[in-house]
Amino acid sequence: MSRPDDPGRRRFVLGAAAGAAAAAGPPSLRGLAMAAEDEPRSHLAAFNAVEAVARMSRGELSCERYAAALLARCRASHALNAFITLEPDRVLEDARARDIERKAGKPLGPLFGLPIPVKDSVNTRDYPTTGGTPALKNFRPKEDAPLIAVLRAAGAIVLGKTNLHELSYGWTSNNLAFGAVHNPYDPSRIPGGSSGGTAAAIAARLAPLGIAEDTEGSIRVPAAFCGIVGFRPTTGRYSTQGCVPISRLFDQVGPHARSIADVRLFDSVLMPDARRYEPKPLRGVRLGIVRDYWYTGLDPEVERVTEAALSRLEEAGAVLLETPLPGVERLVDLTTDQVQNHDVRVALARYLEQYETGVTLEELIAQASPDIRATFKSDVMPGGANFVTEPVYAAARDRYLPELRQLYRKYFEETGVAAMVFPTTRVPPPHIGEETTLDIRGQAVPFDQAVARNIAPGSTAGVPGLVLPAGLTGQGLPVALEFDGPAHGDRALIELGDALEQALGSIPPPALGT
């Protein structure tokens, strides 16, 4: 699995063009910067989704011009390898159709004209859905996933399909089939995974709002490593039907964005509610800190940025409450991997059949990249060294998972905290290829423990998690805080997000592609 990026394996599809054609850029992308000449490309790319939609809805900015500017940005940043499939002509055609609708006086949806990159594990009727794996490279679903149908009905445009860790089974997005995704803050480093392509696209200003997916950190790790906002809702809040699955107990779709305002917009479209969002002040809000789990063994720079960010929260009026949470590590160890490694072989086989991919699970694994094939052989399939037996799975699902979720419920009830806060990862973004162990204070730490230890409890417990940039390391790499709220407290967490975002402040955008 440990391997540097191989440009020869990188594939960036632009319409019918691929591979070397991407480097030259297809004719449909040439001159797109000129299409937005009267309003600089960098200016348009800096809009958040709320502002872009408002301008297009008022007719101050045409959908075609905005889409052209983002596509030009995509071409300029193609070396990030954020997309598996991007078809500029289709995007521009959809944008022109939106402009015609506005001129005809048709009702405009809350996402009118907004191009949204979609993780390539979510079914789309007019693009392949590869799951980042070779066996599905030509699979075209017959219909959109319900999530995509809702977004389109709200006026959104699909801005291609983004690259990911193959089958969403990892945290690097070093995809050996479609090429590694590169971090916009340092292209020699990973963007995180599995939704690395979406995170890289949002950070690099290729779009303001994108679709990611999280089973065990796949929204939150990339958000942290790419210096953007990530929101993993309570499990089940948004539909995951029509998404390449791992486990229905943990899988959840969610947004990547650069502002809380855009997360709020996304949530309001998928969860219509007559109540207006009411931003909450931070003064007097209790935030929980569990140091004996989430704050141990941190990289020195992550620790420095985290402590400075906590001080800013206190200065803004937040009350930091430190308590233990006994048992959390044990319950995660008994639940998280067991559920995922059991469920994926069942859920994935069902997906392949239900959506008529023409591929069996055995064929999919046989054609998978060596790293994924080895993981499935050892951890997922019968006969593997770490195969999860039915009794072990039943104990994880029926005993330990309910215990973990009850532990979280009691924690929030007894402490009265609005959210627990902690550094999303223990390390800044590692280099591409550093996938076995990472050095933390002179100690060799397993990669999964360094990157995923802090995010595993929240997604296993099914609670909402909001990731916000907290600052940069001395090398200019993003560090993030995660705020986990009580189950089904999504709306309250988003409402608190404005004050958290303001207190933490912003970080500079990546220099790449500016």
490 pLDDT above the threshold of 60: yes
Q: What gap in Å lies between CA 24 and CA 305, rounded to an integer? A: 40
Q: Which residues contact 101 (CB under 8 A, 6 or more apart)?
A: 108
Q: What gap in Å lies between CA 267 and CA 269, rounded to an integer? A: 5
30 pLDDT above the threshold of 50: no
Out of 77, 121, 173, 194, the active site residue is 194
User: pLDDT confidence of 274, banded at 50, 70, 90?
Assistant: confident
- Per-position b or e across 235-257, b if 16+ CB within 10 A of its CB: bebbbbebbbbbbebbbbbbbbb
Tens digit of pLDDT for each residue in 68-99?
A: 999 999 999 999 999 999 999 999 999 999 99
214 pLDDT above the threshold of 60: yes
First to last CA, the chain: 32
Asked if 410 is an active-site residue, the reply is no
Tens digit of pLDDT for each residue in 175-198?
A: 999 999 999 999 999 999 999 999
Angle, vertex CA 432, rays to CA 29 and CA 478, nearest 5: 80
Asked if 57 is an active-site residue, the reply is no
Share of the chain above pLDDT 70, in %: 91
User: Token pair for residue 492?
Assistant: 């309250």
What pTM did the predictor assign? 0.92
9 pLDDT above the threshold of 70: no
β partners of residue 115: 157
Angle, vertex CA 191, rays to CA 267 and CA 381, nearest 5: 85
Out of 28, 119, 121, 173, the active site residue is 119
- Predicted confidence at residue 306, as pLDDT, reads 98
Out of 62, 168, 218, 259, the active site residue is 218
- Predicted confidence at residue 33, as pLDDT, reads 35
8 pLDDT above the threshold of 90: no
Q: What is the mean pLDDT of residues 217-242?
A: 98
Asked if 121 is an active-site residue, the reply is no
Q: What gap in Å lies between CA 116 and CA 212, rounded to an integer? A: 11
Q: What is the mean pLDDT of residues 379-390?
A: 98
Q: What is the mean pLDDT of residues 245-253?
A: 98
Q: Which domains does the chain have, with CATH numbers?
A: 8-327+394-502 (3.90.1300.10), 328-393 (no CATH)
Q: What gap in Å lies between CA 148 and CA 155, rounded to an integer? A: 11
34 pLDDT above the threshold of 80: no
Q: What is the mean pLDDT of residues 138-162?
A: 98
Q: Residue 347 CB: number of other CB atoms within 10 A?
A: 18
Q: What gap in Å lies between CA 256 and CA 270, rounded to an integer? A: 15
Q: What is the mean pLDDT of residues 245-273?
A: 97
36 pLDDT above the threshold of 80: no
User: Token pair for residue 429?
Assistant: 């973004």
100 pLDDT above the threshold of 50: yes
What does residue 433 show for φ and ψ, rounded to 5 degrees?
100, -20
- Predicted confidence at residue 39, as pLDDT, reads 60
